[in-house]
Chains A and B, each alone.
Chain A
Amino acid sequence: MINSPFVRKAASVQQVMLQVLLALVPGIAAYVWFFGAGILVQIALASAAAVAGEAAMLAVRGKPKALFLSDLSAIVTAWLIALTFPPIVPWWLTVTATLLAIVVVKQLYGGLGQNPFNPAMAAFCLMIVAYPALMSQWPAAGQLDFSSQLQLIFGGARQVDAISGATPLDALRTALRAAANPDSQLHGLRAAQLMDGPAYGMLGGKGGEWVALGFLLGGLWLLQRRIITWHIPGAFCLALAASAGLLWAVRPEGFASPVFHLASGGAMLGAFFILTDPVSGATTPRGKLLFAAGAGVLTFVIRAFGAYPDGVAFATLLMNLCVPLIDMNTQAPVFGHKKD
C-alpha cells in the first residue's frame, strides 16, 4: 500500500548522475582540444569496463540489472577514472582500474550508496602504487597526435621516456627542489621564472589550465542546478589556496603559487566532481566544510612534500576515512533546539 506523500518531485539518481556527466563535458572538450582525442578512447574503454563489471556483479548479487545500470553511477566513476589517469596509459590499465573500482570498491562494499571510498580515487591510488611509471607519463599539450596516442594505448612497445614527461605540477616541484640545490643550474630561480618554459601556461600547465577552467564551469553549473552545494568546492579551494599561499608567501622561491595549485592537476575536478561524491563524502553542511578543507590541506601537503605527482586522490581517500566521525560530530541542532 502506498502512503503519503502521493506526489513526488521528478528527481532520480539517474537524473543527478546525468547532470554530473553533462557538467564534465566542457572540461572534456578542452581536454580533447589541447591534448587530443585519446582521452575519448579512454573514456569509452572505462565506460565499457564499468558497465560490464557492474552488470556482472549485479547478476552475481541478484540485483535488478536494468534499474541499477541505468542509474549511470558506474559511468560517472568510469569518466572520473579516465579523466584522472594519464591519457596514454595502456588500455588494460584503464580497464583493470575501472573493474577494480566497480567490482571491489563499489559492489563488494554493497553497491550504490554503500561504498565508503570514492571508487575512482581508490582505483587511482591502487594503480599509482602498482604502476608508478605508467601512471606518471603525461604528454604535453599538442605533443602527440591521435594515431600515436592510439598506438600508445593499444600498441605493445612503449618508449616511455621519449614520449612523455611529468605533469607540470610534478615538473615544477622537481624544478623547485633543484632550484634549492646550490649545485643545480636552476639554482636561485623562482617558481615564476621556472614556469617560463613551454610546458606552462598562464596559470598552470599549458592546456591543463583550460581543462581546469572547463571543469570549473561545469562545476558552477552543478552548483546552479543545486546538484552540489558550495560547501565542498568552496572549502577545498580555500584550504588548498590558503595552505599553498601561506608557504608561498613565506618562501616564494621554494613553493608554487596558490593559483598554480588551483589551476593544476586534479584540483578543479576534485573540488567539484570527486569530493562532492555524496556517497563517500560528508553530509552535514559543517561536515562538508571540514571534510573538504581537510582534503585541501592534504592535497597541498602531498603535492609539496610527497612523492606522487598529485595529491587529490590520496587526500580524498584519507578524508573518506574520516567521514563517519565528521558526520557524527557535526549534526546540526534540530528545530527548537537552536541557540539563536
Chain B
Amino acid sequence: MLRKLFKFHGGVKPQTHKTQSTTQPIARVPLPERLVIPLHQAVGGHPRPLVAPGDKVFKGQRIGGADGSLSSAVHASTSGIVRDVAPALMPHTSGLTTLSVVIEPDGEDRWGELDKVNYRTAPPDELRDFLRDAGVVGLGGAVFPSYAKLKPGKEGRLKTLVINGAECEPFITCDDLLMRERAADMLKGIVAMRHMLQAEEVLIGIEDNKPEAVAAVQAAIAASGQSGIQAVAIPTRYPAGGAKQLIRVLTGIEVPHGRRSTDFGVQCFNVGTAYSIFEALEFGRPLISRVVTVAGNVDQPRNYEVLIGTPMDHVVRQSGARPDTDRYIMGGPMMGVRLPAFDVPVVKATNCILVGSPALFPPPPPEMPCIRCGECAKACPADLAPFEMYWFSRSKNFGKAQEYHLFDCIECGCCSFVCPSHIPLVDYFRFSKSEIWARERDKSSADAARDRFEFKNFRQEREKQEKAEKLAAKAAATREKVAADSQAGTASPATEAPDTAKPAAPSAEDTKRALIAAAMEKARQQKAQIAPKNTEQLSAETQADIDAIEARRAATATPPTPDA
C-alpha cells in the first residue's frame, strides 16, 4: 500500500558510502584485554558505581545504578574482575574524562542471575522501571533513557509510534544490518512498545536506499500477523533520520523545538532500541552490547556486535585500519564527533566508528566571506537562515542569534555542507549555544548570589525596622515622660491654646529639647544603619524611611509646639 509521505524543507544528498559495509553479516568481536565502561552514558543523571576495585562481576551485572529522576543503569558487559573505578577518557571531542569501571575479563563471558519480567502481563510502570534498570537507552545516538519516553501523552494513548530505521548518515549501516538480520525480534520489541504507549499505528521509516531492510521488515510484519504496523520506504535525503524530520515525513506533523512529540500524538524510537527492548523484556538481558559499523579508511568495512566498553581500536583492528589513519570519528561524517584517542571505549551512543584519513576527509578549503547566496537556508531542514545566525554568532550578538531561532538548529551540518564559502557554520552555532548556556549558568549562579544578598538585606532591613519601631516607642515614652513631668508643674500642654502658650514656655522648651535629643540619637543610629545599605534595595529602604518618619511624627505630633 502506498502511503502519502510528506516533505521536510532542505536537506542534502551526500555520497552514502553504505554498500561496502553491508556485504557481510554482523560479526562478533573477540574479548578485549580490558573493558572501560563509563558510568554516565545516557542523557540524565550520573549513575553511581555499585562495584569497587577487586570485585568479581558477572556478565549483565549492574555496576552503575540509575540515579535521580532521569537516569539509566549501566552493566558489566562480560564476566571478570573490576580493576578500577576511576575517571577515564570519554569518547568525545572535548577530551574530558568521566568516572568509568575498568573490567578485566575472565574469558568465561558468564551471565549472572538475570532479573526477568513478564512483559505480557506486567503493568507499564513496572516495565518502565525494568527497562531503566536494564539500561536501555536510545541507540540512534541521542542515548535518551527509553523508559522515560515510553509514556503516552496526557491522553494515555498515542496516535503513531514512529520507528526510525532511516539511517540517513553516510557510511553507517548498523541499523540496516540489524533490520536485515533481526527484523522478527525487533518487531517483538516494537509490539511491546506499542502496547506500553497504547499506539494506534506503528510506522517504521526506512530510507529507500535499503531495499533489503525494507523487505526484511515487511516480511517480519507479515509473518507476525500484526495489523497496524507498516514499514515505509522514504526518500533518501539527509537528515531524514532526524527524529523530527522522520516524524514530519511519515505523519506530516512538525514538532516544534522545546515541545514533546507525545503532545502531538507521536513518539519516535530507533530500530536498535526496539531490539534492545526485546532482549531486555524477553530474556532479561540488559543493554551490554550494540551493533557498531566500522567504516571509512579500513580494508574491510563491516558491522560488529560490540560489548560496551570495548576499546575502539580493538574493534577497528578486526576491519584492518589503513596506515594513513589519522583519526576516529564516532558517528557519521555529517554529525559525528572526532575522538581524542584511538582507545576510547565503545559506548551506547556509538553507532559507528568512522576511521578517517586526510585523504578521505580532507580539510575544507579556506574559509571565504559569506556571499549571502542563501544556499545554507535552502539546505536547512529546520527552515532557519543560517547565514543570519552566523553573522550574529560571529559578532557575538547572541540575543540576535536567538531571535533567528538559534536553538531550533539541530546541528545537522547541512548548511556547512553546502556553503560555497566553506564557512563552518555549525561550529559557529555550537559555539554560540555553549556561550549562551555558559552565560545562563553564570547568570543563574549570579541570581543565586543575588538572592542570598537580597535575603541578607531583607533581614537587615527587618532588624532596622524593628529597631526603628522600638526607637519610636522609646521616643513616645520619652515624650510622655517629659510631658508628664511638665504637667506636674503646669496645665496640660496638650490642651493649651496657642495664645496661652507663653506661661508654659519653659516646660515646652524642655519637652522640645528632650525630643530633639531623642530624635538626634535616633538619626545617629539610623545613619549608622544606613551606611552599609545597598542603594538598590529601594523598597526596603523606603519602608525604613517611612517608618522613621512615622516614628518622628509620633514623637513630635502630639506635643504642643506653639513657638515653633
> CB within 8 Å of B: which residues of A?
1-9, 11-13, 15-16, 64, 67-68, 71, 73, 110-114, 278-279, 281, 283-284, 327, 331-338, 340
User: Residues of A contacting B331 with CB < 8 Å?
Assistant: 4
Cβ-defined contact, B337 with A4, below 8 A: yes
Min CB distance A15 to B, Å, is: 7
Segment touching A, from B23-31, B255-263, B518-526, B542-550: B255-263
Flag B352-375 by CB within 8 Å of A: 1 or 0 each: 000010000101111011111111
Task: Count A/B pairs, Cβ under 8 Å.
Answer: 142
Provide the bound-state CA to CA distance between A113 and B381, in Å.
24
Interface size class of B (residues with CB under 8 A): 35 or more
Cβ-defined contact, B369 with A12, below 8 A: no
Min CB distance B231 to A, Å, is: 25
Provide the bound-state CA to CA distance between A332 and B361, in Å.
34
Flag B325-340 by CB within 8 Å of A: 1 or 0 each: 0000101011111100
Flag B421-456 by CB within 8 Å of A: 1 or 0 each: 110101100100000000000000000000000000
Provide the bound-state CA to CA distance between A3 and B331, in Å.
12
Provide the bound-state CA to CA distance between A116 and B248, in Å.
38
Cβ-defined contact, B369 with A111, below 8 A: yes
Cβ-defined contact, A8 with B417, below 8 A: yes
Flag B1-41 by CB within 8 Å of A: 1 or 0 each: 00000001100101100000000000000000000000000
Min CB distance B393 to A, Å, is: 14
Cβ-defined contact, A3 with B377, below 8 A: no
Cβ-defined contact, A283 with B336, below 8 A: no
Q: Which of A7, A13, A337 contacts B170 (CB under 8 A)?
A: A7
Q: Does B492 contact A (CB under 8 A)?
A: no
Cβ-defined contact, A8 with B369, below 8 A: no
Provide the bound-state CA to CA distance between A132 and B356, in Å.
62
User: Residues of B contacting A112 with CB < 8 Å?
Assistant: 368-369, 371
Min CB distance B157 to A, Å, is: 23
Q: Does B130 contact A (CB under 8 A)?
A: no
Cβ-defined contact, B256 with A4, below 8 A: no
Closest chain B residue to A332, Cβ basis: B383
Q: Which of A9, A284, A337 contacts B12 (CB under 8 A)?
A: A9
Cβ-defined contact, B374 with A3, below 8 A: no
Cβ-defined contact, B371 with A4, below 8 A: no
Q: Could you pull out 5 A-B pairs where Cβ atoms are within 8 angstroms?
A: A5-B416, A110-B369, A113-B421, A336-B408, A338-B383
Query: Known interface pairs A6-B361, A7-B15. Does A336 touch B369 (Cβ–Cβ under 8 Å)?
Result: no
Cβ-defined contact, B254 with A7, below 8 A: no
Query: Known interface pairs A6-B356, A113-B372. Does A334 touch B420 (Cβ–Cβ under 8 Å)?
Result: no
Cβ-defined contact, A283 with B413, below 8 A: no
Summarize B's interface: helix, strand, loop or mixed. Answer: loop
User: Residues of A contacting B306 with CB < 8 Å?
Assistant: none
Cβ-defined contact, A13 with B333, below 8 A: no
User: Residues of B contacting A336 with CB < 8 Å?
Assistant: 244, 254-257, 259, 408
Cβ-defined contact, A6 with B333, below 8 A: yes
Provide the bound-state CA to CA distance between A327 and B377, in Å.
13
Min CB distance A328 to B, Å, is: 9
Provide the bound-state CA to CA distance between A68 and B370, in Å.
13
Provide the bound-state CA to CA distance between A279 and B336, in Å.
32
Min CB distance A305 to B, Å, is: 32
User: Residues of A contacting B244 with CB < 8 Å?
Assistant: 335-336
Cβ-defined contact, A16 with B404, below 8 A: no
Provide the bound-state CA to CA distance between A12 and B382, in Å.
23
User: Residues of B contacting A337 with CB < 8 Å?
Assistant: 254, 256
User: Residues of A contacting B420 with CB < 8 Å?
Assistant: 11-13, 15-16
User: Residues of B contacting A73 with CB < 8 Å?
Assistant: 371
Q: Which of A3, A13, A113, A279 contacts B338 (CB under 8 A)?
A: A3
Q: Does B147 contact A (CB under 8 A)?
A: no
Cβ-defined contact, B375 with A334, below 8 A: no
Query: Known interface pairs A16-B373, A112-B368, A336-B255. Does A2 touch B426 (Cβ–Cβ under 8 Å)?
Result: no
Query: Known interface pairs A333-B383, A335-B381, A338-B254. Does A4 touch B426 (Cβ–Cβ under 8 Å)?
Result: yes
Min CB distance B555 to A, Å, is: 63
Closest chain A residue to B412, Cβ basis: A5
Q: Does B387 contact A (CB under 8 A)?
A: yes
Cβ-defined contact, B385 with A331, below 8 A: yes
Q: Which of B257, B259, B334, B375 contacts A4 (CB under 8 A)?
A: B334
User: Residues of B contacting A3 with CB < 8 Å?
Assistant: 93, 337-338, 424, 426-427, 430
Q: Does B48 contact A (CB under 8 A)?
A: no
Q: Does B418 contact A (CB under 8 A)?
A: yes
Cβ-defined contact, A334 with B383, below 8 A: yes
Closest chain A residue to B361, Cβ basis: A6
Min CB distance B141 to A, Å, is: 12
Provide the bound-state CA to CA distance between A338 and B8, in Å.
12
User: Residues of B contacting A67 with CB < 8 Å?
Assistant: 366, 368
User: Residues of B contacting A11 with CB < 8 Å?
Assistant: 375, 418-420
Closest chain B residue to A112, Cβ basis: B369
Q: Which of B8, B15, B374 contacts A278 (CB under 8 A)?
A: B374
Cβ-defined contact, B372 with A278, below 8 A: yes
Provide the bound-state CA to CA distance between A49 and B96, in Å.
54
Q: Does B405 contact A (CB under 8 A)?
A: yes
Cβ-defined contact, B377 with A335, below 8 A: no
User: Residues of A contacting B382 with CB < 8 Å?
Assistant: 334-335
Closest chain B residue to A64, Cβ basis: B366
User: Residues of B contacting A281 with CB < 8 Å?
Assistant: 372
Query: Known interface pairs A1-B338, A7-B15, A336-B254. Does A283 touch B364 (Cβ–Cβ under 8 Å)?
Result: no
Min CB distance B357 to A, Å, is: 11
Min CB distance B232 to A, Å, is: 21
User: Residues of B contacting A340 with CB < 8 Å?
Assistant: 252
Provide the bound-state CA to CA distance between A16 and B374, in Å.
13
Min CB distance A41 to B, Å, is: 29
Min CB distance A339 to B, Å, is: 11
Q: Does B468 contact A (CB under 8 A)?
A: no
Most buried by B among A9, A110, A283, A338: A9
Q: Does B384 contact A (CB under 8 A)?
A: yes
User: Residues of B contacting A334 with CB < 8 Å?
Assistant: 257, 382-384, 405, 408
Min CB distance B394 to A, Å, is: 12
Provide the bound-state CA to CA distance between A193 and B206, in Å.
66
User: Residues of A contacting B372 with CB < 8 Å?
Assistant: 113, 278-279, 281, 283
Flag B225-269 by CB within 8 Å of A: 1 or 0 each: 000000000000000000010001000101111010000000000
Instruction: Add 20 more A-B contacts to A113-B370, A283-B377 (CB < 8 A).
Output: A3-B424, A4-B335, A4-B336, A4-B426, A5-B413, A7-B361, A8-B418, A9-B14, A11-B418, A110-B369, A283-B387, A284-B385, A333-B383, A334-B257, A334-B382, A334-B383, A334-B384, A335-B244, A335-B382, A336-B408
Q: Which of B9, B356, B418, B421 contacts A335 (CB under 8 A)?
A: B9
Cβ-defined contact, B404 with A331, below 8 A: yes
Closest chain B residue to A228, Cβ basis: B373
User: Residues of B contacting A331 with CB < 8 Å?
Assistant: 385, 388, 404
Most buried by A among B364, B416, B420: B420
User: Residues of A contacting B375 with CB < 8 Å?
Assistant: 11
Cβ-defined contact, B422 with A12, below 8 A: yes
Provide the bound-state CA to CA distance between A121 and B333, in Å.
42
Closest chain A residue to B248, Cβ basis: A335
Closest chain A residue to B425, Cβ basis: A5
Q: Which of A7, A15, A327, A335 contacts B408 (CB under 8 A)?
A: A335
Closest chain B residue to A16, Cβ basis: B420
User: Residues of A contacting B170 with CB < 8 Å?
Assistant: 7
User: Residues of B contacting A12 with CB < 8 Å?
Assistant: 365, 368, 420-422
